Structure formats: structure tokens, C-alpha cells
Amino acid sequence: GAPASGKGTISSRIVKKYNVAHVSSGDKLRDHIEKQTELGKEVKSYLNEGKLVPDDVMIKFMIAELRKVDNRPWLLDGFPRTVGQANALWEVQPVDVVLNLVVPFEVIIDRVKSRWVHLPSGRVYNIGFNTPKVMGKDDVTGEDLVQRPDDRPEAVQKRLDIYETVTRPVIDFYK
């Protein structure tokens, strides 16, 4: 699905119901950004501009993340995003099932305007759908919620444009 189509929300429900490992490229990368690792610094510059992280960086990173889950079943969230990434993943680990979330772009743009995140945990709130108990505060810790830089309207539009040209062909790859 496109950026902000609900991949993380749906993924977390599947993970809970079926007890599979959740490997979210976005969550893992944001963790590196928060910890200011070399990878995090590199990735931050791409995300702030609404660009995709280059294939070679993502492939190496995500294959390493998949190896950490050993023989457990897993759910990938946000990867692969290009046909090159899909090919590389298929060579290492053929995929059994692929889900594609179809959400109109207008709905996505409205969603991100109302989306707030607790960065340390990755918990996502959406005003009007999953509103925090106290506005601007995480329900669990009471810490501040923030809007992610890649959720700015101009960055979202750029991410949607990239999705149309670069990521949509991945759907055909898996058909």
C-alpha cells in the first residue's frame, strides 16, 4: 500500500492474531534515526525530502533484519518498495503471501494531517480515529506526541508521487 495507507495498523493486528515477527522497515529505520547511527543519519536525509532510501541500502539492511527472526514466520511492513528490492528478497526468501492496501490518495493526505506519533514506541494516534486520551500525550507514558517530518503535506505528496512511479510496479511483480 501507499505511504500512510494503514500498513502499520493492519500489520500490528495480524502480528497479534497470528503471533508472527513484525519486521517494519519504517520502524526499524526510525529507530536508527533516533539513535543517530550512521545508517540513521543517512536515512534521515532521504526521508526528510520524501525520497526512498536507495535499494542497495534497504536490501542489505532488511535482509539483515530478517536473519534476526531466525525460523519464525514473519510479516514485512513497508518492504519491498521497488522491483529491485522485491527481486533481491525473492532470491533470499521467497514470499508466501502479499497484501496490498488500496486507499485513495485524498484519504491518505487527510490522515497524515491528523497523525501524531510517540517516537520511542512507534505508537500512532490519529485525531478522530484513534485519538489519544490527552491531546498531544501518549496514552501509555504521558510523553509528548509529535508529527513526523515525513508527514508534512509536501513530503507526503512527494512520497505518493514516488509510490505511483516506483512502488506500484511491485504489485505486478507479485501477481
Give me the active site residues, please: 7, 81, 115, 148, 159
| Residue 61: C-alpha distances to residues 29, 38, 55, 68 (Å) | 9, 12, 10, 11
Q: How far apart are CA 127 and CA 149, in angstroms?
A: 18
Q: How far apart are CA 6 and CA 171, in angstroms?
A: 17
Give the contacts of 98 (CB within 8 A, at least 6 positions apart).
174
